Chain A
Amino acid sequence: MTADAHERLADTVRIEGARILATLVRTVGNLQVAEDAVQEAVIVALRDWPHRGVPDDPRAWLAVAARHKAIDILRRESARAGKEREAVDLVELYSPDLPPDSVVRDDQLRLIFTCCHPALAAETRVALALRTLCGLALPQLAAVLLTSEAAMAKRLTRARQKIATARIPYRVPSGAELPARLAAVCGVIHALYTAGHAPLSGPVAYDVDVCAEAVRLGRLLHELMPDEAMPAAVLALLLLTEARRSARLDAAGELVPLLSQDRSRWDRGLVAEGLALLDASLRRTGGIADPYQLQAAIAAEHARAPSYAATDWAEIVRLYELLMSVAPSPAAALSRAVAVAEASGALAGLAALEEIPASARWHAVRGELLAREGRFVEAVAEVSASLSGEVTGPERRYRERLLARWACQSSGSMGPAGGSWRPAPGR
């Protein structure tokens, strides 16, 4: 088996494992036992399948194997502790049949809501989603979330203990609870995508595509709750962002700002899908747009614009203002300032920056706007200041290239050459 084929097999086993887990959690009534059982089954599959061949129905094989492992674990536990676990659905556990798809779908939704329960800390929800919903292994998880394996293991163990001890229920929240709980789930999926798309600092050193995982979860949630507006909006936002991902870096892995991106490299299929989802989501919303709809609408404006110059910046400013009215954040305010600079000039952008607390990105944006005004000495100082914070490798090298150019320009002629510099709005 080639390395490529092995990787594909590993992905299949991981994704099928996560699907089986959802049903097994309900059957054994315990997340830890179910996860251990699925993991043991996955290990056997990855050990045997490459040389014995993949079974005809890998999903069924894994499901049955995981059930047997669960029975073993429960037996070991009851022998040790001298007690039977309550809430184990023995009939289903010993049944030779696989549950119908409709049951699996309900189980998947239950597991999503449990892992994203607001009684768990926000970082814990993201970690659980990666481990439990995406089936990532501990080392991958630690690399993605920039922490140690030991710390990650501890966090997950605590989370599973809290779910069991505090009785976080394994069910889909009903009517009145649903909006807030759904918002928490969408928040986790968005945070996952962000974790993969824009790691705060350091080189990208993990072998799993977290963005693709977030998109997969986003698709699953939308498929499970097709009539809800928020999952459609989150998926639209993810797809519209994902469509531009490959154009963000050049062949050498260097950052390409939006201004210079080759728009023919944007994935038009994803753009079309994202736009349709956004439309569908907006049609289901009566009143004020939610933050994901607004962010997706901003991404849609960029996706629709034939070029950077032809972008409807006034509309983007308006959308950022709406976003700040429903979900104020320094990041949204900064992006609005960048859009203001494009719509009304660098001076207007600089004025908008005055009202926003300084951060690494704030300094970077201010530096680029100052350079456009030909104020290279100040621009160099600002971008230098932005490099003292946490920055990704490509972002750092991009800013260093700007610094090198401006340093030349500030010592040489102070002409209007800086007018060609545009900050990259958003990410």
Chain B
Amino acid sequence: MAQYLALTYTADVDWWAPEYATELAEYRQFGVEYADRIVASAVLHQTSTATVVRVVGARGGEVITADGPYAETKEALTGYYLIEAEDLDAAIAIAAEIPAAWGGAVEVRPVIVAK
């Protein structure tokens, strides 16, 4: 079994706003249906709440913070699922069930497993 991180890229919205209740329910349903494949997951607040942190030079250097997400894109990183699957085809099949796959896109990345 391998682990994959499924990153969801969708419109940058406030998921708790009433108009997203139906969509949020779809995500919950996915979460229930694939509970035995999901190792961890999170929904993120809007990118307007994001802060980019950099340290100048090396560790201990000046901490520089900036407002906003690391990359400005039309579709924003809005959440993730850490999933378990036997191979990429199985991971793709699960990713295709995440509502973001039809409302935006899902990026599937293999996770390095510590030896």
Which residues of A does B touch, CB under 8 Å? 117, 119, 165-169, 173, 177
Whether A177 pairs with B88 at a CB distance below 8 angstroms is no
> Which 5 residue pairs are nearest across A and B when measured between Cβ atoms?
A169-B87, A167-B87, A166-B110, A166-B88, A168-B88
Per-position contact with A for B75-94: 1 when CB-CB < 8 Å, else 0? 00000000000111100100
Report chain B residues within 8 Å CB of A119: 88, 92
* Chain A interface SS verdict (over half): loop
User: In whole angstroms, what is the CA distance A165 to B87 when docked?
Assistant: 10
- Distance between B91 CB and nearest chain A CB, rounded to angstroms: 8
Which A residues touch B88, using CB under 8 A? 117, 119, 166-169
Contacts of A166 in B (CB 8 A): 88, 108-110
A168-B89, A169-B89 known; 11 new pairs, CB 8 Å cut-off, are A119-B88, A165-B110, A166-B88, A166-B110, A167-B2, A167-B86, A167-B88, A168-B87, A168-B88, A169-B87, A173-B89
Most buried by A among B89, B92, B108: B89
> Separation in Å of the B81 CB from the closest CB of chain A?
16
Residues of A within 8 A of B110 (CB): 165-167
In the complex, the chain B residue whose C-beta lies closest to that of A163 is B88
Q: How many A-B residue pairs have CB under 8 A?
A: 22
Residue of A nearest to B2 (CB): A167
The smallest beta-carbon distance between B90 and chain A, in angstroms, is 8
Contact with A along B11-42 (1 / 0, CB 8 A): 00000000000000000000000000000000
Determine the distance from Cα of A166 to Cα of B108 in the docked complex, in whole angstroms. Answer: 9
* Contact sample, A vs B, 19 pairs, CB 8 Å cutoff: A119-B88, A119-B92, A165-B110, A166-B88, A166-B108, A166-B109, A166-B110, A167-B2, A167-B86, A167-B87, A167-B88, A168-B87, A168-B88, A169-B86, A169-B87, A169-B88, A169-B89, A173-B89, A177-B89
B110, closest chain A residue (CB): A166
Residue in chain B with minimal CB distance to A170: B87
**B82-115 CB contacts (< 8 Å) to partner A:** 86-89, 92, 108-110
Q: CA–CA, A146 to B91, complex, Å?
A: 34
Give every chain B residue within 8 A of A168 (Cβ-Cβ).
Answer: 87-89
Alpha-carbon separation in the docked complex, A168 to B87 (Å): 6
What's the nearest-Cβ distance from chain B to residue A181, in Å? 9
Give the residues in chain B near A165, CB-CB below 8 Å: 110
Report the bound CA distance from A110 to B110 in whole Å. 22
- Measured between beta carbons, the chain B residues less than 8 angstroms from A169 are 86-89
Kindly report which residue of chain B lies nearest to residue A174, judged by CB atoms. Answer: B89
The residues of A that contact B109 with a CB separation of less than 8 Å are 166
Bound: A169/B85 CA distance, A: 12
Give the residues in chain A near B87, CB-CB below 8 Å: 167-169
What is the chain B residue whose CB lies nearest that of A169? B87
Taking CB atoms, residues of chain A closer than 8 Å to B92 are: 119
Docked pose: A198 CA to B72 CA in angstroms: 40
Min CB–CB distance B113 → chain A (angstroms)? 11
Q: CA–CA, A5 to B22, complex, Å?
A: 70
- The docked-state distance in angstroms from the alpha carbon of A168 to that of B92 is 10
Residues in A with CB closer than 8 Å to B89 are 168-169, 173, 177
A168 to B89, CA, bound (A): 7
Q: Kindly provide the distance from the CB of A207 to the nearest chain B CB, expressed in whole angstroms.
A: 36
Q: With a CB–CB cut-off of 8 A, which chain A residues contact B2?
A: 167
By beta carbon, the residue of chain B nearest A177 is: B89
Closest A-chain residue to B108, C-beta based?
A166
Cα–Cα distance between A165 and B86 once the two chains are bound (Å): 12
Residues of A within 8 A of B86 (CB): 167, 169
Cβ of B97 to closest chain A Cβ, rounded Å: 14
B28 CB to closest chain A CB (Å) equals: 26
Closest residue of A by beta carbon distance from B90:
A169
Whole-angstrom distance between the Cβ of A75 and the nearest chain B Cβ: 20
Q: Which of A117, A167, A177 has the most CB of B within 10 A?
A: A167
Cα–Cα distance between A192 and B6 once the two chains are bound (Å): 33
Contacts of A117 in B (CB 8 A): 88
Name the B residues within 8 Å of A167 (CB-CB).
Answer: 2, 86-88, 110
| A31-B60 Cα distance, complex, nearest whole Å | 44
Q: How far is the CB of B95 from chain A (nearest CB, A)?
A: 11
Which residue in chain B gives the minimum CB-CB distance to A117? B88
Interchain CA distance A207-B47 in the complex, whole Å: 54
CA distance A169 to B110 in the complex (A): 13
- A59 shortest CB reach to chain B, Å: 30
Expressed in whole angstroms, the minimum distance between the Cβ of B109 and any Cβ of chain A is 8
Nearest CB in chain A: distance from B3 CB, A: 10
Closest chain B residue to A164, Cβ basis: B110
Q: Give the residues in chain A near B108, CB-CB below 8 Å.
A: 166
Interface centre among A166, A168, A169 (most CB of B within 10 A): A166
Name the CB-closest residue of B to A165: B110
CB distance from A172 to the nearest CB of B (A): 11
Q: Pick from B86, B88, B110 the residue with the most CB of A within 10 Å.
A: B88
